[in-house]
A and B are shown apart, each in its own frame.
Chain A
Amino acid sequence: MLHNMLKILIADDHEFIRKGLKQILIDEFSPVHIGEAEDTNKLLELASMEEWNIIISDISMPGKGGLEALAILKKQQPHIPVLMLSIYPKDQYADNVLSAGAAGYLNKDSAPAELVQAVKAILYEGTL
């Protein structure tokens, strides 16, 4: 059972945002193993240590920044889908993010249902 458990890695420098994301994911996907990273160094470290089903990462983070981390992730583990989150409107960043290899882009304004929908689409259909 345990090795089949869904594993999601979330990265955001704000603890309360991570808590919010985690709660939304647990409410929907429980049982689920959730890893947390507060900056891009930790994100890259955790990403290389375990096999995650999906990574959800903020774009603006201390350290390398989410976009650079995304590029590194895509080089090291191209098979792990990455959903990028941002406070910026979709039209401002989405193209860059998607062409850098992200599986999807979501604004932090999005309702929990949209987040869950996006994670499901990426996990089960491979795309958003």
Chain B
Amino acid sequence: MTISILIADDHAIVRKGLTQLIKDEFPNANIAGVGDSESLMSKITEEHWDIVICDLSMPGRSGLDALRQIKQIYPSMPVLIMSMHGEDQYALRVLKAGASGYLGKDSIHEDIIKAIRTVLLGKRFITPGVAEKLAQMLEGDLNQMPHERLSDREFDVFKLLAGGKAVSDIADQLSLSVTTVSTYRARILEKMNLKSNADLTRYALDNNLI
């Protein structure tokens, strides 16, 4: 069977390595790589792909944005999201946004082939770590952390604010107006019951979010 896989990651070394890993298992696979979300969205329309493997953090629009857009245009296209930074807090978000699986950097070489096989059968690939998170979520919203009340976009803005980025820089990076980002900031502080950017930073550090 020939499978076609499109890989999006801004690191050429990662693209090469993943391609090699996949080729070891599927020698006839047709594999292409792109370095950002924009190229991903254009390449995806050029031919038929069985699976898209996409990094979460890329320059410009994030992998989460790309995922949402792909699912809008091709709802049945399986998309595996990988994160190079072990950002576990994104696992549930990407699954909610329609991803077929979430792969952390540390286990990607073990998981990627299993994930591809699972996804080709039309199923989702869930690692034990993600399953544990899902189980925790089922325990109810009672134990919900303040940052888990944020929408995906609010969470993106929260992380940038907590990382010390100015509102104007965030507006630039996310292609939003300064007013919109300020509105997000106000909503984030309200939802999390915090008062300042310093509070956000402290919260993010305490909870290993940055």
Chain A residues within CB distance 8 Å of chain B: 14-24, 87, 108-109, 111-112, 115
Contacts and interface: CB of A to CB of B under 8 A. Distances in A.
Given A19-B20, A23-B17, A108 B108 contact: no
Contacts of B19: 23
A20 B13 contact: yes
Q: Which 7 A-B pairs have the closest CB atoms?
A: A20-B17, A16-B17, A20-B16, A15-B109, A20-B13, A19-B17, A19-B20
Interface residues on B, range: 10 to 19
A19 B20 CA distance: 6
B10 to A, nearest CB: 7
Interface string B1-41: 00000000011111111111100000000000000000000
Contacts of A22: 20
Q: Is the interface of A mostly helix, strand, loop or mixed?
A: helix
Nearest to A115: B13
Interface of B: 10-21, 84, 105-106, 108-109, 112
Given A16-B14, A17-B14, 9 more contacts: A14-B17, A14-B105, A14-B109, A18-B17, A19-B18, A21-B13, A23-B20, A108-B13, A109-B10
Given A15-B21, A24-B16, A109 B108 contact: no
Contacts of A115: 13
Given A23-B17, A24-B16, A16 B10 contact: no
A19 B16 contact: yes
A116 B114 CA distance: 32
B88 to A, nearest CB: 17
